[in-house]
């Protein structure tokens, strides 16, 4: 974040003051609401996809600019597109023509090949590798070290387990893992309650 001054972080989970943190705890949502959106920008540092989306919506409603942060130790092709609020961690690679949505996390050492599309608020975990043309849906999570072969589609809100090898399309709202990855269960409310869909 060359040229930026980092003020601290905001978090509702910690009561102020908290000691032994690398940056000062500024407060939570109430603190943000008391400050002017013109005074600073906000970067999202929340791992849970749904919580990150909710926080982004809260910040937008308060008038804050949610900024995109790219580590200087990441490689991003000039022809890739990064949505607002996306965080690209050290050692990750985003190749030509990739379209990264809003509020996405591309975590440490992840590889996003050419023409990949990552839906809003998705999360690609450390050392996951996505082949060319992969499409990952909104709020989806690709686990630690997972591999997705080229041109595969992963549905909205689906979870790919750590170390999985995805060789076929994955539907919306499911959890899949294994080598090759197989759908293990659905996360839709009807499926979880035993109702027929």
The answer to whether 138 touches 117, Cβ cutoff 8 Å, is no
Residue with tokens 């399309």: 169
List 114, 127, 141, 150, catalytic entry: 114
The answer to whether 87 touches 105, Cβ cutoff 8 Å, is yes
- Number of neighbouring beta carbons within 10 Å of residue 190: 11
- Number of neighbouring beta carbons within 10 Å of residue 163: 16
Q: What ranges in 13-67 are assigned the alpha helix state H?
A: 29-34, 49-61
Instruction: Give φ, ψ of 37 to 5 degrees.
Output: -65, -15
Residues 113, 67: Cα–Cα separation, whole Å: 23
Decide if 114 is catalytic. Answer: yes
Q: Is 147 exposed, middle or buried (0-12, 13-18, 19+ CB in 10 A)?
A: buried
Q: What is the dihedral of CA 124, 130, 133, 137, to 10 degrees?
A: -30
| Residues recognised as catalytic | 114
């Amino acid at each position: 974040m060359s040229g930026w001054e980092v003020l601290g972080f905001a978090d509702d989970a910690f009561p102020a003051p908290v000691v032994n943190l690398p940056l000062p705890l500024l407060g939570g949502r109430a603190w943000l609401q008391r400050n002017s959106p013109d005074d600073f920008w906000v970067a999202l540092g929340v791992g849970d996809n749904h919580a990150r989306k909710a926080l982004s919506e809260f910040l937008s409603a308060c008038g804050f600019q949610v900024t995109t942060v790219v580590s200087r130790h990441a490689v991003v092709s000039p022809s890739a597109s990064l949505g607002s609020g996306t965080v690209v961690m050290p050692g990750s690679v985003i190749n030509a023509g990739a379209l990264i949505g809003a509020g996405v996390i591309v975590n440490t050492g992840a590889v996003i090949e050419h023409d990949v599309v990552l839906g809003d608020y998705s999360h690609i975990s450390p050392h996951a590798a996505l082949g060319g043309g992969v499409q990952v849906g909104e709020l989806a999570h690709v686990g630690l070290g997972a591999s997705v072969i080229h041109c595969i589609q992963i549905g909205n809100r689906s979870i790919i387990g750590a170390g999985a090898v995805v060789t076929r399309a994955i539907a919306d709202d499911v959890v899949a893992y294994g080598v090759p990855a197989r759908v293990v269960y659905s996360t839709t409310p009807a499926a979880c309650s035993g109702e027929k869909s």
